[in-house]
Amino acid sequence: MIIPAIKNAEQLRQQIRTCVEALRVSRGVREMDMDVET
C-alpha cells in the first residue's frame, strides 16, 4: 500500500512504525520461519 506525495512523510512513517510495534506486542504476534518439505 502506498501513501503518495504527502508532507512530513518521515514523521508519519515513524508514527506508523511505532504503532506497528505496539500492536504486535499487544497482540502477541511472533514470527517464525518454518521449513516446508516439497
Please state the separation of Cα 30 from the chain's center in Å: 13
User: What is the DSSP-derived secondary structure letter of residue 29?
Assistant: -
> Could you tell me the smallest distance in angstroms from the CB atom of residue 11 to other proteins?
9
Site string for other proteins, 6-35 (x = CB under 8 A): xx-xx-xx-xxx-xx-xxxxxxxxxxxxxx
User: What is the DSSP-derived secondary structure letter of residue 31?
Assistant: -
> Could you tell me the smallest distance in angstroms from the CB atom of residue 36 to other proteins?
5
3-state secondary structure of 13: helix
Q: Which residues bind other proteins (CB under 8 A)?
A: 1-7, 9-10, 12-13, 15-17, 19-20, 22-36
